[in-house]
Structure 1
Amino acid sequence: MPGARGVGSRSSQTRADIVRAAADLMLEQGYASVTYRSVGARAQVTPGLVQYYFPVLDDLFVEILEAGTDDLVRRLERAAGADRPLRAIWAYANDKAGAALLLEFMALANHRKAVGPVIGRGGERLRQALVAALVPALRRYGLAADERVPAAVVFLMSAVPRMIQLEESFGTVTGHAEMIDLVEDYLDRVEPLAGAETDGPPITRG
Structure 2
Amino acid sequence: MSGQRGVGSRSSQTRADIIRAAGELMLDQGYAAVTYRSVATRAGVTPGLVQYYFPVLDDLYIAILEAGTDGSVRRLERAAASARPLRAVWAYANDKAGAALLLEFMALANHRKSIGPVIGRGGERLRRALVDALEPTLERYGLADNEIPPAAVVFLMSAVPRMIRLEEAFGTVTGHAEMIELVEKYLDEVEPQDT
TM-score by length of 1: 0.91
Partner residue, 1:37: 37
Q: Secondary structure at the match of 1:9?
A: coil
How far does the alpha carbon of each residue in 1:46-80 deviate from its partner, in whole angstroms, 9 at most, with x for none? 00000000001100000000011011101101212
Can you give the 5+ residue segments of structure 1 that lack an aligned partner in the other structure?
Answer: 197-206
Partner residue, 1:127: 127
Checking the alignment, whether the CA contact within 8 Å between 1:86 and 1:187 is kept in structure 2 is yes
Q: CA separation in 1, counterparts of 2:94 and 2:4?
A: 30
Partner residue, 2:83: 83
Q: Secondary structure at the match of 1:11?
A: coil
Q: CA separation in 1, counterparts of 2:147 and 2:8?
A: 43
Offset at residue 4 of structure 1 (A): 4.2
Q: Secondary structure at the match of 1:173?
A: coil
Write the mapping of 1:17-166 to structure 2, written as runs, cut at 5 A. Answer: 17-145=17-145, 149-166=149-166
Q: CA separation in 1, counterparts of 2:147 and 2:60?
A: 38
Q: Secondary structure at the match of 1:108?
A: helix
Offset at residue 141 of structure 1 (A): 1.7
Structure 1 residue ranges (4+ consecutive) displaced by more than 4 angstroms after TM superposition = none
Partner residue, 1:168: 168
Please provide the CA RMSD for this pair.
1.3
Offset at residue 24 of structure 1 (A): 0.3
Q: CA separation in 2, counterparts of 1:188 and 1:85?
A: 13
How far does the alpha carbon of each residue in 1:74-97 deviate from its partner, in whole angstroms, 9 at most, with x for none? 110121232211112111110000
Question: Greater shift after overlay, 180-189 or 26-35?
Answer: 180-189
Partner residue, 2:16: 16
How far does the alpha carbon of each residue in 1:110-153 deviate from its partner, in whole angstroms, 9 at most, with x for none? 11111110000000000001101111111122211159611000
Checking the alignment, whether the CA contact within 8 Å between 1:26 and 1:104 is kept in structure 2 is yes
Q: CA separation in 1, counterparts of 2:143 and 2:190?
A: 11
How far does the alpha carbon of each residue in 1:145-200 deviate from its partner, in whole angstroms, 9 at most, with x for none? 1596110000001011111111111111111111111211221232123x32xxxx
Question: Letter of the aligned partner of 2:174 in structure 1?
Answer: T
Q: How many pairs were matched up?
A: 195
Can you give the 5+ residue segments of structure 2 that lack an aligned partner in the other structure?
Answer: none
How far does the alpha carbon of each residue in 1:18-65 deviate from its partner, in whole angstroms, 9 at most, with x for none? 000000000000000000000000001000000000001100000000
Question: Letter of the aligned partner of 2:8 in structure 1?
Answer: G
Q: CA separation in 1, counterparts of 2:50 and 2:63?
A: 13
Q: CA separation in 1, counterparts of 2:4 and 2:103?
A: 21
